[in-house]
Amino acid sequence: MKEQLKKIEELAKAELAECTEIKALDDLRIKYLGKKGELTAILKQMGKLSAEERPVVGQLANKVRADIEEALSEKLTSLKASEQAARIAAESIDITLPGKAQTIGKLHPLSRVENEIRDIFMGMGFNIADGPEVDDDYHVFEALNLPPDHPARDTQDTFYINDKILLRTQTSSVQVHVMETQKPPIRIISPGRVYRSDAVDATHSPLFHQIEGLVVDKGIKMSDLKGTLEMLMKKLYGNECRLRFRPHHFPFTEPSCEVDIMCFNCGGKGCSMCKDEGFIELLGAGMVHPKVLEGCGIDSSVYSGFAFGLGLERMVMGRYSINDLRLLYENDVRFLEQF
Ligand code: DAH
């Protein structure tokens, strides 16, 4: 029997040495120490032993049990440790690997310049006004002193939805909306999309952007218009930039002018960019026509105002020397990445 006990201990230790999984340890415990296990089977035969042998074998059996138990718990500790080491190794991060670069988008050049212009005007105390892109004939034309048969309508070939409703051709319509709902003093700009039935080429698009400006108060003069626009352009293009005010005609302003900026490319000498003019046309402006003020319920004997409308695309193209308007709408990232 002593031999058998020793054999069991040896076998149990040998099996434990081979064991590599915590789950398998339980099976071993049951196999050797369980109620139907090998050690118990031997102890059940103790009755056959003589009275002298019994305590000796009993003591040995207890020692074998204790040894196997100790070996089991040592194995459990070591298996747990190696399992944890393996998990840590698997989860470790190799900080020497190069990171994945994040590509962060940026604002479209149209939005950038628009934001700059908004900031400059807000610094001068202007508010931002919004108006509908789908508007009626009255706000886009009639209230701006462009009656139905006015020839100037032809230059703004229009997308009509029906006889009276159309896509606005100019942000000047916002002037009317603002003056209908606000009393002077008024000081607003209104950036937004406008639409004209034009074929696409390097300088035309059926959709483009304008920024309208309107100031109405007592004693507003042409010099206020000039000072405001000069401030805008100096902030945008630098202190050396020079403006030229040319007489022009718009039905909703009197007097009216067009404003040119000295060519960025040649500094006024004349080049292909300014078509040898030395100046590039930037915007239309003028003193708000008394008829327009009166039509919006503003007394033109008390109040006067100035207005201007500038083309955002033209400003952006001048700013970044872009020679084809279509580049601004094609969303080619090779182009957009450059700004
Ligand atoms: N709305 C005009 C256009 O689209 C531009 C313009 C001219 C706006 C004179 C004005 C202005 O406010 O006073 O051609």
For 180-206, write each residue's pLDDT tens digit. Answer: 999 999 999 999 999 999 889 888 899
pTM of the entire predicted model: 0.71
Q: How sure is the predictor about 7, in pLDDT bands with cuts at 50, 70 and 90?
A: confident
Backbone angles phi, psi at 11, to 5 degrees: -60, -45
**Most informative mutation of 308, 310, 312 for ligand 1 (most atoms within 8 A of CB):** 308
| Residue nearest ligand 1's atom 8 by CA | 309
Q: Are 306 and 288 in contact (CB under 8 A)?
A: yes
The predicted structure's pLDDT at residue 99: 85
Query: Three-state SS for 180?
Result: helix
Most confident listed range (17-31, 37-51, 67-81, 136-150):
136-150
Work out the percent of the chain whose per-residue pLDDT is above 90: 53
Give tens-digit pLDDT for 217-257: 999 999 999 999 999 999 998 998 899 999 999 999 999 99
Structure confidence at residue 145 (pLDDT): 95
Compute, in angstroms, the gap from residue 206 CA to the centroid of ligand 1.
17
Strand partners, 308: 213, 285
Q: What is the rounded CA–CA span in Å between residue 243 and residue 136? A: 34
Mean pLDDT of 77-106: 87
pLDDT for the residue numbered 208: 96
Q: For residue 68, is pLDDT > 80?
A: yes
Write down the pLDDT at residue 286. 98
pLDDT, position 15: 83
pLDDT at 24: 84
Cα three-residue angle 47-49-54, rounded to 5 degrees: 90
Beta strand 279-288 with 304-311 is: antiparallel
pLDDT value, residue 257: 98
For ligand 1, atom 2: residue with the closest CA: 309
Q: Model confidence over 29-53: pLDDT tens digits?
A: 888 888 888 888 877 888 888 888 8
**Atom in ligand 1 nearest the alpha carbon of residue 286:** 13
**Which are the contacts of 45, defined by CB distance < 8 A and separation ≥ 6?**
1
305/220 Cα distance (integer angstroms): 5
Rounded CA separation 294/298 (Å): 5
Confidence band of 129 (pLDDT split at 50, 70, 90): very high
Distance 258 CA to ligand 1 centre (A): 9
Q: Which atom from ligand 1 is nearest to the alpha carbon of 214?
A: 12
CA distance 337 to 339: 6
Confidence band for 264, pLDDT divided at 50, 70 and 90:
confident
Q: How far apart are the first and last CA of the chain?
A: 92
Query: How many angstroms separate the CA atoms of 40 and 31, rounded?
Result: 10
**If you take atom 7 of ligand 1, which residue's CA is the nearest one?**
284
Q: Express as a percent the part of the chain with pLDDT over 70.
A: 100
Q: What is the DSSP string of 153-173?
A: GGGG---BSSSSEEE-S-THH
